[in-house]
Amino acid sequence: MTERASIASLIPASQDIYRKIVFEIADGIIGIDDHGIIRLCNPATESIFGWQSGELLDKPLEVLLPERVHGFHQKLVANFQSGHAEARYMGQRSATIVGRRRDGAEINLGITILRTSAAGSPMMVAVIRDVSDHVRYQNDLKRLAETDSLSGLLNRRAFRANVLQSLSTADHSSMVIFDLDAFKGVNDRFGHDAGDDVITSFSEVLRSSIRATDVAGRWGGEEFVLFLPNLNAKAAIAVVERIRANFTGVDFRWNGHPVANFTVSAGLAIVTPGCADFSDMIASADKALYDAKHAGRDRLVAVEMQQEALAS
Helix (H, G, I), strand (E, B) or coil at 39: strand
- Residues 174, 272: Cα–Cα separation, whole Å: 9
| pLDDT > 80? residue 78 | no
> Do residues 301 and 288 lie in contact, with contact meaning Cβ atoms separated by under 8 Å?
yes
Distance of CA 244 to the CA centre of its chain: 28
| pLDDT > 70? residue 94 | no
**What integer pLDDT is reported at residue 176 of this predicted model?**
98
- Residues 196, 218: Cα–Cα separation, whole Å: 13
Q: pLDDT tens digits for 278-304?
A: 999 999 999 999 999 999 999 999 998
What average pLDDT score do residues 162-191 get? 89
| pLDDT > 60? residue 10 | no
Determine phi and psi for 200, rounding to 5 degrees.
-70, -35
- Residues 30, 38: Cα–Cα separation, whole Å: 7
Told to judge if 222 belongs to the known catalytic residues of this protein, a careful annotator would answer yes
Helix (H, G, I), strand (E, B) or coil at 266: strand
pTM (two decimals): 0.67
- Please state the domain extents for the chain: 3-135, 147-311
Q: pLDDT tens digits for 259-278?
A: 999 999 999 999 876 667 89
Highest mean pLDDT among 3-7, 141-145, 166-170, 192-196: 192-196
Highest mean pLDDT among 10-24, 84-98, 169-183: 169-183
**What integer pLDDT is reported at residue 95 of this predicted model?**
62
**What integer pLDDT is reported at residue 77 of this predicted model?**
76
Identify which has the larger pLDDT, 51 or 83. Answer: 51
**What integer pLDDT is reported at residue 310 of this predicted model?**
40
Tell me, which fold does domain 3-135 have in CATH?
A: Beta-Lactamase (3.30.450)
Helices (H), 114-232: 132-146, 156-167, 183-190, 192-208
For the chain, the average pLDDT equals: 87
Distance of CA 170 to the CA centre of its chain: 19
| pLDDT > 80? residue 107 | yes
Alpha carbon dihedral 59, 63, 67, 69, in 10-degree steps, equals -90
**Active-site hit among 222, 223, 241, 304:** 222
**What integer pLDDT is reported at residue 312 of this predicted model?**
40
Chosen CATH of 147-311 out of 3.40.50.720, 3.40.50.300, 3.30.70.270, 3.40.50.1100: 3.30.70.270
